[in-house]
Structure 1
């Protein structure tokens, strides 16, 4: 039943359209159309349930192939008194009377499923009923496979409202999957299921159920994810084959070819089958033009492809691939190159195969199909592909989380690097692998030093300088990263420009020059797009994204920050298969949410990233992920979970990647605060800010100093925070300083003003803290109503952040209420009426009104809504 209810997700607009038609005066008719599995039947039944709730009687019938040969066969159970010997006109008159019934004021509702399977007489009857208006019809018709719509005349003539069911959007698919598993689902798993089902609710539901039965859909802590391939089950295969309908031998051969190849030209498909078969499949909508505009065709639904592929023997698939590859080799098209390389690899390489294998490996790297890239590149290396084959292999292995193997391959590739450009690329790749993957900072720097003695070419030396800039940033020296990287950007050259831009943008972000950082990142994206070689693109792309996220977050541009993090995440899901970039994108979203003051949202994303990064971490992002998750959990009250993360063993890269050490120490401070060690937390946050200052991370230092204010260190940080705000280019830094000054001075008006500015930038948790401080300042001045208003704002902001309280809200006393006032206030906030409260407390309604009036006056509020908003901030004050 839960699965059936889930199938209605995303159908709110359709339900509304149906009920509007049935509730019109006079009541109308509805025709629900959509492909197999779209949920037509479920929606029609729901329409009848809703009609019954409105007091209307309902009847139900369904067309079937078996009943189609009998006049009125599908409606026979609704027609008990019909004379089967009567002529056609008499039959229609008797059937109409039987269905219309006793002529009640409110017409009954007749639902008929699969009208396309009805006999002609039944269709004629439905048309007459619709025209007569004595019965409201809810009809369903399947689209696709050249099915005729016998109800088309109804909606074309204005006798019915046509409701066409569209595929589920991704968001609705995610909700459906989450309901099926009763939990949160990894985003890549959602993406895979949604794409394979193409938003078809039935297919999606069956895929999830099969994943649960087979154990491939598994729960890791609080997150469900799919492990392994998505192979259709026997049950789902039978459903799909039934939806495909009967295929003759030629049609089946055509489908087998497309199931094997994915796409091919119409001419090739005709050679494998026949012109009539291809025409018939196109007419039924079973195959369609490929979406990329290549002029080729594909199977219309991705699940059909998987089902057909699973039914074709491997030997037959190999024969098909070899024949297609021969044809594609003749046309020489680049978009067939990877396919030809795979076919060559599967069928056995030859002496002259290394160019094709190498080109295929490079293309697979560019498409982030890293396992395939590794297979092709290994074969290319074995066949003498030289340095280009090694470069693709090193990159594929590195990003699959094997840094030690990548380093060994790089050493083996050294003799093949015969040009300065090759030697510079190899040294840069080795340095990044040693530094980020293995945590060997000294060895990484030694590789670059040695390369500088031999590489003389300008582009090769520029790439070495860009790598040095990147290592400087990661090592906690952002100013040096900017200086070194700018030497490359001053004379742009090839791949080095994009990598240098990434390092410079990241360095500018943490040193408080956000505007320059974002401009530099934009130039880096442009340089990356114009760079033809995929081997150095991946690290650059990831770091450019990181630089943008840092710049937006540290400059307080929180609305744009969350938009950009979500945009980068969507781009990754849409353009790449499953890879470690999924986890990196989740870290970006988690850090963005934490910086914006949404620790619950941050926990969700960071918890998704953590297991993948613990398995493989090619850029050294695990320490940031772990510390950010610890801070998020501390802020939402999961003290034990936060402590486990802080005390966990550090990854190999932690010693080398020092740039995130201040944030890690800040996380330790929040965990200490959550454990009740507020004094130690204050010391830790000042240490974190001092470390950021020593590294030259002025923007990070300012943010950490402000966190010190939230942990009771206001007098010690306000002057330094003002100094930093004057130097840095973000208005957000001035807001942080103003907050500190107003808090130390206990200026209620100043705190309210800065709270409003935080609200405008999207920093709602900071807005809650400032509003709480304002409430406390008003309370000390005896301005109870102003205090209550500020407290209400604080509670509202905190609730929007997913919290019941902000850091300062914990210690804010509320005005004293008597025990009876507290009791009445709690019951009122729970939604009980005055009458219900009086009955529960055995007092008069007037007494309840009096107590509630006193509570409102003390709290400075005027409604139950305000009361509900205030109660989560803290316990109502003791009498």
Structure 2
């Protein structure tokens, strides 16, 4: 077996290359999908007469040997292929590469090196029988001098071409370097697949859309190795973990690698060739997950560690601690499954060297490593270690591990209450909201009475948070905060006047203030807390930084919703700079990112939303597993806002697939409604109505913003589908928001409601725009003024502003109205300009939000709705079922539509409606 085939990460043995795996394609198809470009370069080089062959180079584990086999099997002229092997280390015996031929040579050729050379060349030509000959040389570094001479003669005489496989050109025999420098040998370098390349390969082989979490998980687990990627996909499909839901590939849970038979065979093959000390290091890291390099070097030989890193077994990060882990996660999972509990305890004792660390002195990574090592060895964690590990695991998006750690805290431990809070946080991350509330309430009254001020505030904050997300508990959370205030007041009455005590009480007060701010924002009561938020966010005390930033993030949301969009965006920039002082894993960073996204979206800056989500470090696979649905939903909403329904669906459908499995933050209803809106933008009424039905049947939603977004998307979908009742619901929502000072959401609702609107609606739009900031407010003001005055000039000005915001649907709406208004006042210049722009927009948008009326007879909203559905091929019976009328009513409306538009077939309606 070649050295390449023996490496870690080579999953070639897990599959029969000629066997089809159900739904995933053959091994050859996977290889072509992953290495098609490189394969074409190799074949092109082999086809050039001046080139003697190709050298395939790349790091260990990248798939060079597989690439060589792939090229050979795909050549069209059925060449005669000879696989050569050299010694794995050092110089082999003379002619070691051709030893299998020496025994076949007649005695007359064996008398001299020249005779052997001629005999081997003749034998190759005889065996080839006139076919082209391809030599495949794996591991050329150990090629002896005599074999090199034979190879040179074979190549120079044209008897064969070569495919040499090496990690780098310096591994080649010296004589081959001249061929490379002179261009007689071509080099094709292989790299591991990047994240985008992995996504492309999966899309090619699996088809359909995929969730971002799936791509991230598979890319991380495979390390960019195409063969391992293929193996992982097959194993996950066989285990039922990788499933196709509504044309979207997604994972039901985390990757299940321990039971992956194919991968285990790969690991065992490599395991047998490692030294005992290297095996122990692998076992150690399989249990501890990551260990500082200095600590490993204190236990094991530094040279062995360096060799393992060079060979691709270990990965060492560039932090000051130089955290070391196994490069391939699947290796750790499989090796760990082999280890008995006594062996795990022995490894733990070796690493700790009899010293149990103090939880107060440990970093997050240290406490997670220590907890993992102890859990695997079934050594109970101390309550302080368990509490610290549970909190760190939640911050690293590993709620399962957090729950495992917190389970070790007993009811009579002082850490019980805090441990229940950590459990609740983990369950909330998993969208198990009712369980989270049950857990956090599983605390005895006397335990609450014994809490210090800060602990009391933290407990009631966790309880209020769980209560908000649990079904029907949002209104009760206010009562919980009232109880917390009363208890804190009682503690204050008993407390001394010492500075430390007063600071403890002040910190508890700030924590409860923050929780009340969060609750007010959840309910949409922004006006009630804006002044207090402004005061709290202006606090410059360094010791209050976290509280100040948290309040500022809520203030961003409050500004965004209450018409102060420009102030919100300025605050986003300011808070973003201050946020750098917090650790990367701080939960406030995720809250800020989500709030900044909403601020940009509500301000009409959808491009900024996409840049924001695409900038910065990529979300970890663990984060995507629990928050990937929210991120994909956000991207989908940004595209939906811009009128790009088709692009939005690429993200909304994966978001729905994940939210149906785990409805994080109560976003499933919003995702259904947004998907319906996207389909409505595309004129796909059957799918739009299907998702509207699911939105109506889904459970509770979440915060005010997600609820309002759901209602807006649902009503906008129905308005695009021609339902007249949708306009009234949008106007009603706008007036409700206006009464509570929520001018931004009121403005968005009234803009959506005023397609073919009334003068009173446009006056309302103009009034609301006067309370708002930014270009989106100016756009709605211009739209209102233009519609009230029937001014083509103002409508074209509004269209120009929509262009600056890249809002295609809004631009089309303004241009269509400008076209009608210019026709009515005989403004031929504007008429021509508007018509040209509308023609261009008609190529971008599947359906125009407003169709110019011209001289055509006006249709009622119901007639327009039925005509649009009929034009897209929906039967009369299905139309009747979708909109809740009789088939006879549908037929009557269509008769009127055909008469008004002077058409005779349903197909003709598409260009007119």
TM-score relative to the length of structure 2: 0.75
What aligned pairs does 1:435-514 form with structure 2 within 5 A after superposition? 435-455=468-488, 457-491=505-539, 493=544, 495-514=546-565
Structure 1 SS opposite 2:325 = strand
Q: 1:642 to 1:812 in 2, by over 3 A?
A: farther
> Aligned pair 1:4/2:4, yes or no?
no
Which of residues 719, 724, 731 is equivalent to 2:775? 731
Q: 1:267 to 1:488 in 2, by over 3 A?
A: closer
What aligned pairs does 1:381-392 form with structure 2 within 5 A after superposition? 381-382=410-411, 383-392=413-422
| Aligned counterparts of 1:303 and 1:147: Cα–Cα separation in 2 | 29
Aligned-residue offset at 1:119? 5.6
What aligned pairs does 1:199-348 form with structure 2 within 5 A after superposition? 199-228=224-253, 229-231=255-257, 233-242=260-269, 246-264=273-291, 278=305, 281-282=308-309, 284-295=311-322, 297-326=324-353, 329=356, 334=363, 335-344=365-374
2:732 corresponding residue in structure 1: 687
Q: 1:813 to 1:80 in 2, by over 3 A?
A: farther
Q: Which runs of 5+ in 2 are unaligned?
A: 1-24, 493-504, 857-906
Aligned-residue offset at 1:197? 0.6
1:588 corresponding residue in structure 2: 634
2:458 corresponding residue in structure 1: 425
2:610 corresponding residue in structure 1: 562
What aligned pairs does 1:32-71 form with structure 2 within 5 A after superposition? 32-35=56-59, 38-40=62-64, 43-44=67-68, 60-64=81-85
2:746 corresponding residue in structure 1: 701
| Aligned counterparts of 1:657 and 1:266: Cα–Cα separation in 2 | 45
What aligned pairs does 1:191-202 form with structure 2 within 5 A after superposition? 191-202=216-227
Q: 1:328 to 1:137 in 2, by over 3 A?
A: farther
Aligned-residue offset at 1:354? 2.0
Aligned-residue offset at 1:372? 1.8
2:425 corresponding residue in structure 1: 395
Which string of whole-angstrom CA distances, capped at 9 and with x for unpartnered residues, describes residues 19-61 of structure 1? 7766889557531113566343565577679986xxx996644
> Aligned pair 1:670/2:716, yes or no?
yes
Q: 1:135 to 1:439 in 2, by over 3 A?
A: farther
> Aligned pair 1:516/2:567, yes or no?
yes
Structure 2 SS opposite 1:479 = coil
| Aligned counterparts of 1:206 and 1:397: Cα–Cα separation in 2 | 32
More deviation, 609-618/507-516: 609-618
| Aligned counterparts of 2:769 and 2:187: Cα–Cα separation in 1 | 61
Aligned-residue offset at 1:259? 2.6
Which string of whole-angstrom CA distances, capped at 9 and with x for unpartnered residues, describes residues 87-124 of structure 1? 433554576689899xxxxx989463535399645544
1:762 corresponding residue in structure 2: 806
| Aligned counterparts of 1:716 and 1:204: Cα–Cα separation in 2 | 60
More deviation, 764-773/449-458: 764-773
1:361 corresponding residue in structure 2: 390
| Aligned counterparts of 2:46 and 2:834: Cα–Cα separation in 1 | 52
Which of residues 114, 139, 161 is equivalent to 1:89? 114
| Aligned counterparts of 2:620 and 2:580: Cα–Cα separation in 1 | 19
> Aligned pair 1:572/2:619, yes or no?
yes
Q: Please say if residues 32 and 139 of structure 1, whose CA atoms lie closer than 8 Å, have aligned partners that are also in contact.
A: yes
1:625 corresponding residue in structure 2: 671
Q: Please say if residues 82 and 95 of structure 1, whose CA atoms lie closer than 8 Å, have aligned partners that are also in contact.
A: no
Which string of whole-angstrom CA distances, capped at 9 and with x for unpartnered residues, describes residues 222-256 of structure 1? 22222344215222332344466722434333332
| Aligned counterparts of 2:137 and 2:792: Cα–Cα separation in 1 | 66
| Aligned counterparts of 1:788 and 1:137: Cα–Cα separation in 2 | 64
Which of residues 364, 368, 373 is equivalent to 2:402? 373
| Aligned counterparts of 1:529 and 1:119: Cα–Cα separation in 2 | 55
Q: Please say if residues 325 and 339 of structure 1, whose CA atoms lie closer than 8 Å, have aligned partners that are also in contact.
A: no
Q: Please say if residues 508 and 517 of structure 1, whose CA atoms lie closer than 8 Å, have aligned partners that are also in contact.
A: yes
| Aligned counterparts of 2:53 and 2:546: Cα–Cα separation in 1 | 63
| Aligned counterparts of 1:141 and 1:86: Cα–Cα separation in 2 | 32
| Aligned counterparts of 1:427 and 1:246: Cα–Cα separation in 2 | 56
Q: 1:96 to 1:787 in 2, by over 3 A?
A: farther
Which of residues 159, 167, 174 is equivalent to 1:143? 167
Q: Please say if residues 669 and 698 of structure 2, whose CA atoms lie closer than 8 Å, have aligned partners that are also in contact.
A: yes
| Aligned counterparts of 1:413 and 1:161: Cα–Cα separation in 2 | 75
Q: 1:276 to 1:496 in 2, by over 3 A?
A: closer
Structure 1 SS opposite 2:773 = coil
Q: Please say if residues 815 and 834 of structure 2, whose CA atoms lie closer than 8 Å, have aligned partners that are also in contact.
A: no
Which string of whole-angstrom CA distances, capped at 9 and with x for unpartnered residues, describes residues 681-739 of structure 1? 33333233323323322122222222234x32264443333344444221132234434
What aligned pairs does 1:802-821 form with structure 2 within 5 A after superposition? 804-808=846-850
Q: Which has the higher contact order (CA 8 A, sep 6+)?
A: 2
Aligned-residue offset at 1:18? 4.9
Q: Please say if residues 57 and 165 of structure 2, whose CA atoms lie closer than 8 Å, have aligned partners that are also in contact.
A: yes
> Aligned pair 1:112/2:168, yes or no?
no
Aligned-residue offset at 1:167? 0.8
Which string of whole-angstrom CA distances, capped at 9 and with x for unpartnered residues, describes residues 203-228 of structure 1? 00111012222322112222222234
Q: CA RMSD in A?
A: 4.5
Q: 1:693 to 1:626 in 2, by over 3 A?
A: farther
Aligned-residue offset at 1:406? 3.2
Structure 2 SS opposite 1:380 = coil
More deviation, 460-469/264-273: 264-273
Which string of whole-angstrom CA distances, capped at 9 and with x for unpartnered residues, describes residues 150-180 of structure 1? 8556436654343221110111111222333
What aligned pairs does 1:739-750 form with structure 2 within 5 A after superposition? 739=783, 741-742=785-786
| Aligned counterparts of 1:775 and 1:129: Cα–Cα separation in 2 | 77
Q: 1:753 to 1:140 in 2, by over 3 A?
A: farther
Q: Please say if residues 252 and 661 of structure 2, whose CA atoms lie closer than 8 Å, have aligned partners that are also in contact.
A: no
Q: 1:738 to 1:50 in 2, by over 3 A?
A: farther
Which string of whole-angstrom CA distances, capped at 9 and with x for unpartnered residues, describes residues 498-536 of structure 1? 3322221111111222232234345555666656899xx
Q: 1:703 to 1:278 in 2, by over 3 A?
A: closer
Aligned-residue offset at 1:444? 0.9
Structure 1 SS opposite 2:414 = coil
Q: Please say if residues 635 and 670 of structure 1, whose CA atoms lie closer than 8 Å, have aligned partners that are also in contact.
A: no
Q: 1:745 to 1:583 in 2, by over 3 A?
A: same
